[in-house]
Amino acid sequence: MSAVNMQTANVFSFHGGIHPPENKAQSLQLPLGRPSLPSELILPLGQHIGQSSRPLVKVGDKVLKGETIAINNGFLSSFLHAPTSGTIAAIEERLIAHPSGLSDLCIILIPDGNETWTKLEPLSNWQDISKTDVLAYLSEMGIIGMGGAGFPTQVKLQGAHKNPLTHFIVNAAECEPYITADDMLIREKTLELVLGIEILQHLVEADNVVIGIEDNKPTAIAALKSLLTKRNSKIQLAVVPTKYPSGGEKQLIQLLTGKEVPSGQYPADIGILCQNVGTCVAVHDAITLGKPLISRFTTLTGDALKNPQNVEVLLGTPVAHLLDYADSEQKKLSRLIMGGPMMGYTLDSAAVPIVKTSNCILAASKKELPPPAPEQACIRCGMCEQACPASLLPQQLLWFSKSQEFEKAEHHNLFDCIECGACSYVCPSSIPLVQYYRHSKSSIREAREANVKSDLAKQRFEARKARQDAEAAEKEAKRLARQKATSSKATDAKKAAPAKAAPTATAAPASNDESKKLKVDIAIGKSKLKKLQKQLLEAQENEHVEEINSLQLQVTDQEKAIASLEEQLAQVPSAAPVAPVENTAKASPAPVSDELKKAKVDVALIGVKLKKLQKQLSETPDDQELKDKISAFETDLKAAQDTVSKLSENTQPSANTAAAEPKAVISDELKKLKIDAAIAKAAVKKVEKALKKAEEIQAPEIESIRQQLQEAQQRADELEKALANPETTAPKVAAAKAEPTAANLDADAAKKRKIDLAIAKAGVKKAEKNIQLLKEQGKDEAEINASEWPSKLKEAQDKLAALEKEQAAETTKSPATTEASAPSTPVATENVDADAAKKRKIDLAIAKAGIKKAEKNIQLLKEQGKDESEIEASEWPKKLIEAQQKLAALEAEESTSATSVSTPVEKTAAADSEAKVEPEMDLTTQIKKEKIAVALAKAQINKLNKRLENSPEDADSINQEIAATEQRLQSAETLLEKLIHSQTNMQENR
Amino acid sequence: MFTVLLAIAILVLLSLIFGAILGYANVRFHVEGDPIVDQIDALLPQTQCGQCGHPGCRPYAEAIANGEAINHCPPGGQATIQALADLLDVEAVPLDGDHGAESAKRVAVIREDECIGCTKCIQACPVDAILGAAKQMHTVIADECTGCDLCVEPCPVDCIDMVEVGVTAKTWSWDKPQGIAATSLNIIATDRQAEVAH
Ligand code: SF4
Ligand code: SF4
Ligand code: SF4
Ligand code: SF4
């Protein structure tokens, strides 16, 4: 009865195939072995096809056997589990079993020897819960196809739902010579295998379930047969004749169903699913025992092993450990192969680990696997075509691969080649055909990927261009719209003005009418101008460069229009001397204040333009034209500022004379004040920004920027005060106005110096770069010296030094002036302490920067091959020492003042919470700075090390430098620690 | 005489008819754009680096269509020159060194703790591969970066490195065998005693 139920499937055949010597008996002499725990397990994160897993553990973590140590990273990825209990020693690059011999990221696990299992949670209700949940569970158990490619099983099972399955095929063919791991697995775990198949069948619900097995495994066949009969199972057993490569997925499908998987399609497309026996057992272990995939059966074989056998081995076990276990003879070992002799690949190192897909380690002797004969020309014998199980034309493919005609190779179905090696095996010319195909395939794949990438790049490029065009168009449209609005408003006003004027001024002379009209126009134009200026201000604050440009244009346009109108207006009264009295009274103050306004606008405009040019200049420091322009603008600016101060003086009396309408004047003044205040605030903001930036990059010009900031703040404060009580502040305003211009001049000079400095620095950099380039190009010293660059470098350095000196002098001068001016401003009294601390810090930073620069320059000289004496002769060592001394002095000062400053602050903290925030802020910024310093030092060490590698002849000097830098790093680190400590202290205190 | 005239008349008529058909086809099946420029553009690497002297790959494609030399694109290298030569049926010439040398594939990497958030690199990147905002740390989306180098120069603090994309186990590809008379070590199927199966 049971014998009748036990069904045997029909067996078909496939084209080609070969009969290499089987060599399977060797590894079946001994029973299944279980090697001891190795001293470390190496678990690559990419054991499967698709994205590498993401590690869940950290170095030093203790893990239990079966614990998840890495999770999937996307759809086509898998989980990884600890094969035994122990400690994670590292997550690092290690050699992996791969034909490339490259390394990959691995988790290194040191076993503790206890083999303590984590809590196992079998999925006992797999029959009741949804299949998706079961699939998700399988994914979490790290189950992947153990036959070869390592395709995540749940993905394959999901794919099988596309079409109704006619066949679920279990691949037990194991056709490759030498390998007996599946054979042993079936013998040892027959029940688990069958239960696993049943679970899978429950998941996929195929019409037929067939186990395909080659007839060279009689023991396994018998075991399966008896079990299937006993269980009265519906699973069919198909015994296929031994022929390589019947274990290929497509070949086995053809053998068992007679169907061919169409080119470019998957078995699932024709309703067939294939699973390896190892996978079925793993599925069983995961679901009924809750054990993740942490071990596998692997064949250890080859003549170089005294005890070839199958082993159940933990994943991550190094091959060397297994070779020891099987008593390898180093003398005999000529090639170590992962996988079988047909489809495997040579391992360069025995340090690589066993992974989920490693089914065999072949330690072959020279006699067993002699080096292949040299390749000869193809004689077109057609043997390969006879042998090809995929019915391809290998000689044709070879031809196309050799001539790199990949497109034609693809047309000849290159991608249907399963790389079985049958063609290479039979080729009388010993042509490594598979090698050629692999090369072609990877080239084609690379080209495809490159294509995808370049398409993407193109898309993104075009999208960006479209976006930019749209932005530009939008701006243009807005500009046009605005212009139109202005002109239409103006014309409207023009039209409206006479209408309005008509009833009131019927008796008035025509000239008066005209002047009125003009005045209205001017008023409208002015309000427009005001609006534009406001927008400009906003734009400047937000740093919208393009907007600023277009706004500026508009402002100038508007100004011109107003000017011309005013001219006309001026002409009108002279043409009509009998103008009404009140008109002149109104008009006379207007031109002055207008002129003042205009002059101010000029100043602002020129300032902005100047700034822009300076920016440009810092980008292209060599542009003489720019420099000329800048100086021209600067003179303009000065002239404009002069007129402003002159005019503002004039305004005072005129305002007095215009006492007839004092309110209007005051409100006008008020408006002006407001605008000034806004401008001042914007200036403060901008300077603050600059300061921040400078701090971040540790620029030496921090000091002057700070000064600027202070001035700007002062000005803003004053203006605001003035704004608060406008009536009384008229004279003050004038003073405030006069002051900033002076300050501006100072700041301008400082700026100019800075720009010069930056230019000089850039020049030095460029010269250095060019010299470096020449060196790289292999030019020798003499040639380099003959070139203009060293002299240029020298020049630039000299200039830089001179400028720096100047700057230093200036900075020493300027604190004095600020200090002198500080007491006179009552606003800053409470800030003085903090200011002093800040200044000290800035001095410190400057000193540090000086040291750095000196060191760099010395280094540079060394690089340039100057000897010690020359270096000594140069100014730099001296400077270095000076700077170091200064730094030390400053640091001492700082530490004393830090205590003295911090105590009062803490005392007054309750009274003034703002004051308290400030030191903390300083601390954090300082910590940040220190961190940057540490990072910089590290980077420098790295760079130096790299250089050391590249130019061992300079080893001495570089080593010295490394030591110096390390010292610096250390000191910076200790400082950082201290700072962090004090910060935490402060926080605790609070 | 009449036959001659008749023949001429028929020919004139035929030519008119075919002319009309062709004219109609020209309008009806008009192809937008310049197909040869598209084809050339498709072969260029789309790095958009401008090393060819044009503001992007497409302008260079247009220039090639107008007769510029095909060897001005360093990122494409010899492979692109070969492909262009095949497409345009001209001689493949070596890369013009004036425009730069072919280099291994690289991507930009921003040293993030040094970035001051100036957004200059964002403005320079032709493929929007840099992510960041004013005063915020910036970073390069490595997958989108074409390695064009354009962001390196504008960075005021020099915190952008061009890093070679090394070969990993996943991107590695097989070498081509050396050819005739060379033994290759990787081919394993050696112990051949058996015959082809029948
Ligand atoms: S390696 Fe490819 S071409 Fe050669 S026999 Fe196998 S399937 Fe055919
Ligand atoms: S077997 Fe070798 S020699 Fe014969 S046709 Fe194929 S490639 Fe050429
Ligand atoms: S050199 Fe090449 S990659 Fe760069 S823009 Fe020109 S065509 Fe494009
Ligand atoms: S990130 Fe830099 S190198 Fe990469 S594409 Fe953008 S600009 Fe080019």
Q: Are residues A351 and A401 in the same domain?
A: no
Mutate one of A460, A471, A688 to test the B interface: name it (highest B CB count within 10 A): A460
Alpha-carbon gap: B91 to the closest alpha carbon of chain A (Å):
18
Coil, strand or helix at A180: coil
Of A505, A524, A544, at which residue does a domain stop? A505
Task: Indicate whether A390 and A271 sit together in one domain.
Answer: no
In Å, what is the CA distance from A159 to each residue of A73, A264, A272, A777, A983? 19, 15, 10, 57, 58
CB contact under 8 A, A375 and B129: no
Note whether B94 and B44 are same-domain residues. yes
A248 & A152 share domain: yes
CA distances from A81 to A266, A353, A574 (A): 30, 15, 98
pLDDT at A486: 82
Q: What is the largest CA-CA distance in chain B?
A: 95
Q: How confident is the model at residue A729 (pLDDT cuts 50, 70, 90)?
A: very low
Question: Is 60 exceeded by the pLDDT of residue A652?
Answer: no
Question: Is a pLDDT exceeding 90 seen at residue A63?
Answer: yes
Say how many Å lie between the CA of residue A433 and the centre of ligand 1.
8
Q: Which residues of B touch A104 (CB under 8 A)?
A: 168-169
In a domain, B182, yes or no: no
Determine the atom of ligand 1 nearest the C-alpha atom of A433: 4
pLDDT in tens, A258-313: 999 998 888 989 999 999 999 999 999 999 999 999 999 999 999 999 999 999 99
Query: Are B54 and B88 in a shared domain?
Result: yes
Phi (first) and psi of residue A332, to 5 degrees: -80, -25
Beta strand pairing call for A309-314 and A345-346:
unpaired
Distance, in angstroms, between B93 CA and closest chain A CA? Answer: 18
pLDDT at residue number A612: 59
Residue whose CA is closest, atom 5 of ligand 1? A388
Let me know if residue B194 belongs to a domain: no
Alpha carbon of residue A113 to chain centroid: 41
Helix-strand-coil split of chain B, %, nearest 5? 35, 10, 60
The residues facing A80 across adjacent strands are A70
How does pLDDT run across A277-289, given as a tens digit for each residue? 999 999 999 999 9
pLDDT at B197: 35
Average pLDDT over every residue of A374-394: 92
The answer on B141 and B119 residing in a single domain is yes
Overall size of chain B counted in residues: 198
| Mean pLDDT taken over chain A | 73
Q: Which residues of A touch B168 (CB under 8 A)?
A: 102, 104
Whether ligand 2 lies within 6 angstroms of the CB of A383 is answered as: yes
Do A251 and A192 belong together in one domain? Answer: yes
Contact A455/B at CB under 8 A: yes
Residues of chain A with Cβ-Cβ distance to B129 below 8 Å are 460
Chain A hits for B57, CB-CB cut-off 8 Å, are 458, 461
Amino acid A388: pLDDT: 94
* Model confidence band, residue A732 (pLDDT cutoffs 50, 70, 90): very low
Domain membership of residue A499 as a residue range? 372-505
Q: Spell out the residues 6+ positions from residue A619 whose beta carbon is closer than 8 angstroms to its own.
A: none
Q: Are residues A148 and A220 in the same domain?
A: yes
Same domain, A291 and A159: yes
- Are B49 and B63 part of one and the same domain? yes
Residue B191 lies in a domain: no
Over residues A550-560, the mean pLDDT reads 64
Shared domain for A419 and A314, answered yes or no, is: no
According to the 3-state scheme, what is the secondary structure of A677-728? HHHHHHHHHHHHHHHHHHHHCCCCCHHHHHHHHHHHHHHHHHHHHHHHCHHH
Note whether B187 contacts A432, CB cutoff 8 Å.
yes
d(CA B155, CA B104) in angstroms, rounded, equals 23
Q: Is the pLDDT of residue A909 over 50?
A: no
On whether both A86 and A160 belong to a single domain, the answer is yes
Number of other CB atoms surrounding residue A403 within 10 Å: 10
Residue closest via CA to ligand 2's atom 2 equals: A427
Query: Nearest ligand to the C-alpha of residue A436?
Result: 1
Do B57 and B87 fall into the same domain?
Answer: yes
Q: What is the pLDDT of residues A600-638, one digit of tens each?
A: 556 666 665 666 556 565 555 555 665 666 566 666 666
Q: Does A326 have pLDDT greater than 50?
A: yes
Q: Is B149 in the pocket of ligand 4 (CB under 6 A)?
A: yes
Overall number of domains in chain B:
2
CA distance A394 to A388: 7
| B145 plus B131 within the same structural domain | yes
Ligand number with the minimum distance to the CA of B143: 4
Q: Is residue B62 part of a domain?
A: yes
Confidence of residue A4 (pLDDT cuts 50, 70, 90): very low
- Report pLDDT for A430: 87
pLDDT at A423: 92
Q: Tell me how many residue pairs between chain A and chain B have CB atoms under 8 A apart.
A: 167
Q: What is the mean pLDDT of residues A199-205?
A: 91
In the prediction, which pLDDT does B36 show? Answer: 87
Query: For residue A441, which residues of chain B lie inside 8 Å, CB to CB?
Result: 174
Please tell me the residue having the least CA distance from ligand 3 atom 2.
Answer: B73
> Residue A497's closest CA among A563, A554, A565, A560?
A565
Hey, of B167, B188, B192, which one would you mutate to test binding to chain A, going by the most A CBs within 10 A of its CB?
B188
Domain boundary among A460, A490, A505: A505
Mutation test residue for ligand 2: of A18, A375, A384, the one with most atoms within 8 Å of CB: A384
**Cβ <8 Å between B170 and A99:** no
Where is pLDDT greater, at B138 or A545?
B138
pLDDT at A599 over 90: no
Q: Is residue A170 classed as helix, strand or coil in its secondary structure?
A: strand
Poorest-confidence range of A28-42, A307-321, B159-173? B159-173
Does residue A148 lie within any of the structural domains?
A: yes
Same domain? For B48 and B88 the reply is yes
Name residues whose C-beta falls within 8 Å of residue A257's C-beta, 6 or more positions apart in sequence: A12, A166, A167, A169, A272
Judged against a pLDDT cut of 90, whether residue A62 lies above it is answered with: yes
Inside any domain, residue B55: yes
CB B78 within 8 A of CB B126: no
Among A453, A471, A776, most B C-beta atoms within 10 A, so best to mutate, is A453
Domain end (from B99, B119, B140): B99
Assess if residue A134 is contained within a domain. Answer: yes
Cα-Cα end-to-end distance for chain B: 78
In three-state secondary structure terms, B113 is helix
Tell me if B58 is assigned to some domain: yes
Structure confidence at residue A47 (pLDDT): 86
Mean pLDDT of A102-109: 92
Q: How much distance in Å is there from the Cα of B196 to the middle of ligand 1?
A: 13
Residue A663 banded pLDDT, cuts 50, 70, 90 = very low
Does A784 contact chain B (CB < 8 Å)? Answer: no
Task: Report pLDDT digits (tens) over A745-771.
Answer: 555 555 455 555 555 565 556 556 655
pLDDT at res. A872: 55
Would A633 be classed as within a structural domain? Answer: no
Task: Please check whether residues A430 and A323 belong to one and the same domain.
Answer: no
Give chain B's radius of gyration (CA, Å).
28
**What tokens does A398 get?**
């070879």
Among the partner residues A21, A52, A936, nearest to B193 by beta-carbon distance: A21
CA angle A622, A624, A628 (to 5 degrees): 140
What is the DSSP pairing of strand A167-172 with strand A272-276?
parallel
Q: Is A374 at the interface with chain B, CB within 8 A?
A: yes
Q: Are residues B125 and B153 in the same domain?
A: yes
In a domain, A473, yes or no: yes
Choosing from B37, B43, B60, B125 the residue with most ligand 3 atoms within 8 A of its CB, the one to mutate for a pocket test is B60
Q: Do B45 and A455 touch (CB under 8 A)?
A: no
Out of B107, B115, B145, give the residue to mutate to test ligand 4, the one with the largest number of ligand atoms within 8 Å of its CB.
B145
Question: Is A429 a pocket residue for ligand 2 (Cβ < 6 Å)?
Answer: yes
What is the CATH classification number for the domain harbouring A172?
3.40.50.11540
Contact B169 A442 (CB under 8 A): no
Q: Between A8 and A284, name the one with better pLDDT.
A: A284
The answer to whether position A49 is within a domain reads yes
Helices (H), A388-429: 394-402, 406-411, 422-426
The CA–CA distances, whole Å, from A884 to A663, A699, A876, A878, A933 equal 62, 18, 12, 10, 16
Q: How many domains does chain A have?
A: 2
Model confidence at A10, pLDDT cuts 50, 70, 90, reads confident
> Which atom of ligand 3 sits closest to the CA of residue B148?
4
CA distance A720 to A675: 11
ipTM (interface pTM)? 0.80
Which of B126, B187, B188 has the CB atom closest to A461's CB atom?
B126
Cα–Cα dist A281/A793, whole Å: 73
Q: Does residue A264 share a domain with residue A314?
A: yes
Last residue of a domain, one of A474, A505, A536: A505
Shortest-distance ligand to the CA of residue A397: 1
Q: How far is Cα B143 from Cα B105, in angstroms, rounded to an integer?
A: 12
* Range of lowest pLDDT (A149-158, A468-477, A550-559): A550-559
Q: What is the CATH number of the domain that holds B58?
A: 1.10.15.40
- For the stretch A942-981, pLDDT in tens is 666 766 666 666 667 767 777 777 777 777 777 777 766 7
Report which secondary-structure segment, H or E, holds A192: helix A190-204
Sequence-distant (6+) residues with CB within 8 A of A596 are A644, A647, A648, A650, A651
Domain limit, last residue, from B74, B99, B124: B99
Query: In angstroms, rounded to a whole number, what is the distance separating the alpha carbons of residues A768 and A609?
Result: 32
For residue B179, being part of any structural domain is answered with: no
For A416-431, the pLDDT digits (tens) are: 999 999 998 899 988 8
Ligand of minimum distance to the alpha carbon of A388: 1
Nearest CB to A439; choose among B44, B57, B174? B174
Higher pLDDT, A944 or A784: A944
Lowest-pLDDT range, A9-23, A221-235, A365-379, A759-773?
Answer: A759-773
Residue B65, domain extent: 35-99
Confidence of residue A404 (pLDDT cuts 50, 70, 90): confident
Is B7 a domain residue?
no
CA of A347 to the centre of ligand 2 (A): 28
Q: Report, as an integer, the average pLDDT of A196-204.
A: 93
In this structure, what CATH number is given to the domain that contains residue A464? 1.10.1060
Q: Which amino acid is at B188?
A: I
* Predicted local distance difference test score (pLDDT) of residue B183: 60
Residue B146 near ligand 4, beta carbon < 6 Å: yes
Ligand 4 neighbourhood includes B47 CB (under 6 angstroms): no
Cα(B121) to centroid(ligand 4), Å: 8
Each residue's pLDDT, cut to its tens digit, for chain B (198 residues) gives 889 999 999 999 999 999 999 999 988 888 776 788 888 998 898 888 888 899 889 999 999 999 899 999 998 888 889 889 988 888 888 888 888 888 888 899 999 888 888 888 999 999 999 998 888 889 999 888 988 889 998 988 889 999 988 887 777 888 888 777 666 554 454 433 333 333
For residues A278 and A391, membership in a common domain is answered with no
Spatial distance between the Cα atoms of A129 and A123, rounded to a whole number of angstroms: 9
Percent of chain A with pLDDT over 70: 50
Q: Nearest C-alpha to atom 8 of ligand 2 is from which residue?
A: A378
Residue A812 has pLDDT above 50, yes or no: no
Out of B112, B139, B149, B150, mutate this one to test ligand 4's pocket (max ligand atoms within 8 Å of CB): namely B150
pTM: 0.58
If asked whether residues B47 and B93 sit together in one domain, one would say: yes
**Domain CATH code at residue B131:** 3.30.70.20
Identify whether residues B132 and B162 lie together within a single domain: yes
Q: Which residues line ligand 3 (CB under 6 A)?
A: B 44-45, 47-52, 54, 56-57, 60, 73-76
Q: Do A20 and B190 touch (CB under 8 A)?
A: no
Quick check: is A872 in a domain? no
Q: Residues A339, A449: one domain?
A: no
Residue A570: inside a domain, yes or no?
A: no
Q: H or E element: which one contains A63?
A: strand A62-63
Angstrom distance (rounded) from CA A435 to CA A402: 11
